[in-house]
Structure 1
């Protein structure tokens, strides 16, 4: 499983009630903070967190991965689980709007912005794999929106060039970005240019930090100390890419008070405050 498992143990009574959560990796710092705040009010509840790309988590949940709550970076996947009868009806709820940010290594001395990607020193760009990661899809549509990628007329999917963003069959784009988009503007004046894919947006952030020196990442990760200290960033404006409408749903346990307590806490004033401080927008605000 391409996922990170965090288990909160040793802080609770032996008979603590347990809630198992699977979540998109843009929440890997935010959700633990939210859980700590929740646990301060509910000391008898132990919360286990598993992180991975939304698409892969959806596949694993559909195949029987046990969990009580699912937090996705895209509303599509919780909705599909609900349609398949694998989620509690009526519990799907938007909790945030994700923000996409371009991160650049501070040592490059570049002004933050998409124009920086034309610099000859930027020959690799880290993104989450758009086949199954919403932030990767947002990255591709952002580059297309600003003319840095152009759809290929000869892409191996009929009518691909005329499809709107929301209708693109992302799961079928397994040939890599350059089989479907022309990266000519990103390659101009350079010996080469390639996309480097992370299994999820957190993995893409690691790749940017470790080697590519540039990445289109979740703002919630860019604001964390390791990336904030070593880089500069530009935040994509709303509407400039495929929307990151992040939703969560109760998979099972609607009758369990501990599950519903965490479910409600996420959109409480305290929970929403944590999300906003972490770089997310709140739906309706």
Structure 2
């Protein structure tokens, strides 16, 4: 009798697992992908979607180390491509789903002091009152890498020694001349978030300003607390955001969610949060 009960519980657990789509995703998708999953479940009431968010690079490392997941959404194309090259994905499923946008976000507190990023753009960072800047850690966060290249594009950082992104563990000033950002200030420091969602929280609670994803800046909390300047696509590392089904996980329910990302309903949500769809150009 005990054996039968145990087998029954195991079979129940197996059935529940088969009806669950496990999604690991870049933190810039926190709001958009949650809405997409809710819409998907309304059309597929027998299924379940588990969402986990973090930095693309850290998720990549966890997948390599055996993280159980079905679909991986990255904020870039490099990490999924590395998984594909290593034979850790379902062949032919690596696909571009959106192009990400960067912003400089500032709190209403700074705006009230005359520091409005919509008017100043990157020049806001030169003001003596801006002494701390929230940025995602470029070691493993694509939006952190894009943020560094944005500052470099506008002459606010100058490289001093070459290093691959994943090697920049000593912090941005160890690899770049930050004199333009320090000039006329008693101090200046970068405050690093482990992912772009945590970076937004740092901007909200600590620094009052940050280099953020447009998809995060367009959330209700961030729009209520501040305003942003949208960076031109050409001014930073291009964020070609891709997703892929992981090796051994091409089950019908997984494929159903994977295909749903290319529907008009999912595209509407991605546009709502400022993503460009494949082939689209900014207005």
Q: Cα gap change, 1:242/1:93 in structure 2, threshold over 3 Å: closer, same or farther?
A: same
Give yes or no for contact 1:133–1:200 (8 Å, CA) kept in 2: yes
Question: Within the alignment, does 1:79 sit opposite 2:87 as a pair?
Answer: no
- Report matched runs for 1:205-284 at 5 Å: 205-252=200-247, 255-284=250-279
Q: How many positions carry a matched residue from both structures? A: 260
* Partners of 2:141 and 2:31 in 1: CA distance: 18
Residue 143 of structure 2: aligned partner: 135
Residue 68 of structure 1: aligned partner: 70
Residue 111 of structure 1: aligned partner: 116
Give yes or no for contact 1:16–1:46 (8 Å, CA) kept in 2: no
TM superposition shift of 1:111: 2.1
TM superposition shift of 1:227: 1.0
Alignment deviations for residues 74-125 of structure 1 (CA, whole Å, 9 cap, x no partner): 1111111111111101100000000111000111121211111111111000
* Partners of 1:30 and 1:108 in 2: CA distance: 28
* Partners of 2:202 and 2:164 in 1: CA distance: 26
Give yes or no for contact 2:110–2:116 (8 Å, CA) kept in 1: no
Alignment deviations for residues 228-272 of structure 1 (CA, whole Å, 9 cap, x no partner): 111110011011101111000000455421100100000111111
- Report matched runs for 1:70-219 at 5 Å: 70-109=72-111, 110-112=115-117, 113-152=121-160, 155=161, 160=162, 169-219=164-214
Give yes or no for contact 2:76–2:241 (8 Å, CA) kept in 1: yes
Give yes or no for contact 2:98–2:276 (8 Å, CA) kept in 1: yes
Residue 31 of structure 2: aligned partner: 29
Larger Rg: 2
Q: Cα gap change, 1:15/1:260 in structure 2, threshold over 3 Å: closer, same or farther?
A: closer
TM-score where L is the length of structure 2: 0.89
TM superposition shift of 1:216: 0.1
Runs of 5+ in structure 1 lacking a partner? 1-12, 161-167
Runs of 5+ in structure 2 lacking a partner? 1-14
* Partners of 1:105 and 1:114 in 2: CA distance: 15
SS at match of 1:281: coil
* Partners of 1:147 and 1:196 in 2: CA distance: 20
Give yes or no for contact 2:23–2:72 (8 Å, CA) kept in 1: yes
Residue 47 of structure 1: aligned partner: 49
Give yes or no for contact 1:129–1:197 (8 Å, CA) kept in 2: yes
* Partners of 2:16 and 2:140 in 1: CA distance: 38
SS at match of 1:216: strand
SS at match of 1:21: strand
* Partners of 1:15 and 1:60 in 2: CA distance: 20
Give yes or no for contact 1:69–1:252 (8 Å, CA) kept in 2: no
Alignment deviations for residues 157-209 of structure 1 (CA, whole Å, 9 cap, x no partner): xxx2xxxxxxx610011111001111111111110100000000111000000
